[in-house]
Amino acid sequence: MELRQLEYFVAVAEEANFTRAAARVHISQSGVSAQVSRLERELGAPLIDRSGRTATLTAAGAAVLDLARQALASADAVRQTVEEINGLLRGRLRLGMVTGCTITPLFDAVSAFATAHPGVELGLVEDSSDQLVDRIRAGELDVALTGTAATELAELATRTILSESIVAAVAASGHPLSARSSARLREITAHPVVCMPAGAGIRAVLEQACAARGLRSNVTLEASAPTAVLDLASRRLGVAVLSASMLAGRDDLTTIQIRDVMTAANLAVVWRPGPGPAVRELLDYLHTAFGLAGLGL
């Protein structure tokens, strides 16, 4: 069994297609197929079902996928540790950020890291907070900036960089709540609500608060970008629910404090315990960019 066989197997599993997997690992499709077939012969079981239009995992393939990812991650950590001892920092770093992220310190940290370590190949993806956490756990991402209603996540290292209450916002005039400076959650959800999609940290805070009070969240419109949520609310299409800082500079909206919701929406850096050299270095840059006292490595 060779590491490249595991790499090609993981690529096919994640891309669900031999052609896309071949493009990802920069060899021919026939080469990928041959190496995966050789791995299957060595293991004595098919890992990929090739009968359909997409390549899907067999039961054996699904059972060994995480182990293959772990083996590749361990080999990469060995390589990077030796390079670090030799004064080098190389490899691939996969970073995730919550959809619609406009957090300047994140981009500052990534830019400074890339300038200092040109040998590290950076990948950056957007996704919902829930998906980012799942992808960190699965080893698909190394570090993520994600929204969450919790301050700790099972099996992951987490550092909260921003914690804010959720607030409501309505058009400055013409909405029944326009003259209010505060309201209870029941009063907010009596109107159509505009919020971020399920899987976003702010949405999780809203849904948990409603469930605790036996209320329906009444979200009728969703948008991934906070600016879009606010733009919809400004047109009297609903009550926006977001974190307080997202309303900065919006004179066309009235901010309404939600008196009976104490749970905060958190923005956090998340990674797996025992990070490799490249991840540790990026965490140091994030620590500096966000002005944190330390990321607890």
Q: What percent of the chain has pLDDT over 90?
A: 56
Residue 98's pLDDT is 85
Mean pLDDT for the chain overall: 89
**Local structure of 100: helix, strand or coil:** coil
Residue 296's pLDDT is 41
User: Residue 143 has which token pair?
Assistant: 């570090």
Q: Is a pLDDT exceeding 50 seen at residue 149?
A: yes
Q: What is the pLDDT of residues 235-260, one digit of tens each?
A: 999 999 998 888 888 899 999 999 99
Distance of CA 200 to the CA centre of its chain: 9
Q: What is the pLDDT of residues 54-72, one digit of tens each?
A: 999 999 999 999 999 999 9
Would the pTM of this model clear 0.75, i.e. be above it? no
Cα 204–Cα 124–Cα 219 angle in degrees, nearest 5: 25
Same topology between domain 1-85 and domain 163-266? no
Please give the Cα distance from 293 to 290 (Å, whole number): 9
Residue 224's pLDDT is 86
Residue 85's pLDDT is 63
Residue with the larger pLDDT of the pair 149 and 71: 71
Q: Is a pLDDT exceeding 60 seen at residue 7?
A: yes
**To which residue do tokens 């599993």 refer?**
13
Average pLDDT in the 270-288 region?
A: 87
List helix spans (H) across the chain. 3-15, 18-25, 29-43, 59-85, 104-116, 129-137, 185-188, 201-212, 226-234, 277-289
**To which residue do tokens 């058009």 refer?**
171
Contact 212, 202 (CB under 8 A): no
Residue 294's pLDDT is 43
Residue 95's pLDDT is 93
Please give the Cα distance from 202 to 226 (Å, whole number): 10
What is the CATH architecture of 163-266? 3-Layer(aba) Sandwich (3.40)
Residue 293's pLDDT is 46
Average pLDDT in the 6-25 region?
A: 93
Q: Is a pLDDT exceeding 90 seen at residue 47?
A: yes
Q: Is a pLDDT exceeding 50 seen at residue 295?
A: no
The class of domain 1-85 in CATH terms is: mainly alpha
Residue with the larger pLDDT of the pair 228 and 90: 228
Q: What is the pLDDT of residues 87-144, one digit of tens each?
A: 556 778 899 998 877 778 888 989 999 998 888 889 999 888 889 999 999 889 999 9
Q: Which of 145, 83, 142, 141 is nearest to 117 (CA)?
A: 83
Q: Is a pLDDT exceeding 60 seen at residue 168?
A: yes
Average pLDDT in the 153-167 region?
A: 86
pLDDT classification of 167: cutoffs 50, 70, 90:
very high
Domain range annotation of the chain: 1-85, 163-266
C-alpha torsion angle, residues 240, 241, 243, 249 (rounded to 10): 10
Average pLDDT in the 188-205 region?
A: 92
Phi, psi (5° rounding) for residue 256? Answer: -120, 120
Lowest-confidence pick of 186-195, 225-234, 279-288: 279-288
Residue 78's pLDDT is 85
